[in-house]
């Protein structure tokens, strides 16, 4: 029995916790009545606050950055802030299932950009996976368009959110070659929050006056999907196969849809389920046979 237990995949429980944690992101956003820009801003700012106890330990990598690193960190943070603005905004118009499934296109978009920008290797199986995923995404859009213009608009916001976060991840992949992980995440979150704060000032969104429930949701977004989700995957990246960790993009829409069904009473039609599963299958094929897919979703 002892020998059998040793053959279990390492950190499997932690991996499961990470997938479930990021799946709660869309639920918390739906429960909140605040503007999505305010939700995103406080999610990031509170994450920074929770990271403060470790700042002294990482003070050198946090401050010893050159000009190009600072500029790229600002750009990466700006893309992350824009991603949250678009993706969280999509949840006001379309279903959790459609929004999270379309966001799963991120690793495909990263690889397509890497192919054109950096001549990254891509094989026939990956091309097939991209094709299947795109067919599934078109089916999702067509299905939502038949329901309402608003649902299609929400799908578009989610897709644009995937495009923007793909840019964020490409910059991050480049930065992490010579930037410490804690420093990268801390400053990316901070600059993203700053961008969202400016957006809120311009749009006159109030910074205060929220109920205890709203502050609780802001804090839950910082703790559950951000720290227990994204940070868990960053930790696992050094201990599990990159492709295995990347499979988290398939877990979120499944768990998020089930949570939406149970907690939001959001029904899933057979058509949307079939379209979503087709798209996720395409993403699975892409990741399974991908050569350089080491990025994890940011929702």
Question: Per residue in 170-186, is it b (16+ CB within 10 Å) or e — as a string?
Answer: bbbbebbeebebbbbbb
Q: How far apart are CA 237 and CA 295, in angstroms?
A: 9
Neighbours of 22 (CB within 10 A): 28
Q: Please give the structure tokens belonging to residue 186.
A: 């801390």
Residue 214 CB contacts under 8 Å (≥ 6 apart), including other chains: 32, 33, 34
C-alpha triplet 249, 90, 256: angle, nearest 5°: 40
Q: What ranges do the domains of the chain cover?
A: 2-288
**pLDDT tens over the chain, length 299 residues:** 334 444 545 567 777 888 889 999 999 999 999 999 999 999 999 999 999 999 999 999 999 999 999 999 999 999 999 999 999 999 999 999 899 988 888 888 888 887 887 777 778 888 898 889 889 888 888 887 667 889 889 999 999 999 998 898 888 888 888 888 899 989 999 999 999 999 999 999 999 999 999 999 999 999 999 988 877 776 676 566 555 566 667 788 888 988 999 999 998 888 888 988 998 898 888 877 775 444 445 56
């Amino acid at each position: 029995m002892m020998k059998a237990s040793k053959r279990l995949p390492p950190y499997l429980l932690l991996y499961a916790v990470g997938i479930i944690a990021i799946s709660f992101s869309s639920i918390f956003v739906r429960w909140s009545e605040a503007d999505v820009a305010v939700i995103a801003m406080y999610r990031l700012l509170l994450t920074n606050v929770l990271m403060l106890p470790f700042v002294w330990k990482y003070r050198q990598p946090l401050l010893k950055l050159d000009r190009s690193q600072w500029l790229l960190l600002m750009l990466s943070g700006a893309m992350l802030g824009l991603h949250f603005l678009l993706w969280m905004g999509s949840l006001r118009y379309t279903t959790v299932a459609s929004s999270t499934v379309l966001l799963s296109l991120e690793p495909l978009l990263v690889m397509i950009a890497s192919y054109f920008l950096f001549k990254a290797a891509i094989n026939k199986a990956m091309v097939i996976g991209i094709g299947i995923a795109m067919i599934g995404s078109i089916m999702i859009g067509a299905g939502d368009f038949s329901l309402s213009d608003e649902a299609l608009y929400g799908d578009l916001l989610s897709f644009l959110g995937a495009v923007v976060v793909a840019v964020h991840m490409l910059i991050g992949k480049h930065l992490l070659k010579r930037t410490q992980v804690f420093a990268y995440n801390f400053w990316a979150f901070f600059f993203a929050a700053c961008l969202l704060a400016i957006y809120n000032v311009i749009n006159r969104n109030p910074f205060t006056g929220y109920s205890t429930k709203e502050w609780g949701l802001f804090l839950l977004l910082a703790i559950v999907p951000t720290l227990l989700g994204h940070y868990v995957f960053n930790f696992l990246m050094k201990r599990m196969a990159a492709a295995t960790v990347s499979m988290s993009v398939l877990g979120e829409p499944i768990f998020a849809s089930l949570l939406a069904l149970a907690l939001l009473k959001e029904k899933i039609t057979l058509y949307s389920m079939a379209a979503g599963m087709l798209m996720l299958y395409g993403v699975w094929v892409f990741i399974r046979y991908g050569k350089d897919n080491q990025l994890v979703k940011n929702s």
